[in-house]
Amino acid sequence: MTDTVPLLPIRERIKDLNTKAYYLLVALSFVYRTDSGSRLLKSAFTLTAITAVLPVQDYIESVPWLERFRALKVIFLGVALLLTVFWIWEVGTTVH
More confident residue, 1 or 59: 59
**pLDDT digit string (tens) for 36-87?**
667 888 888 888 888 877 777 777 888 888 889 889 989 998 998 998 888 8
Q: Helices in the chain by DSSP H: which ranges?
A: 10-33, 39-53, 56-59, 63-95
Residue 62: strand pairing partners: 4
Amino acid symbol at 54: L
Q: Based on the number of CB atoms within 10 Å of its own CB, is 76 exposed (0-12), middle (13-18) or buried (19 or more)?
A: middle
Least confident of 20-24, 27-31, 45-49: 27-31
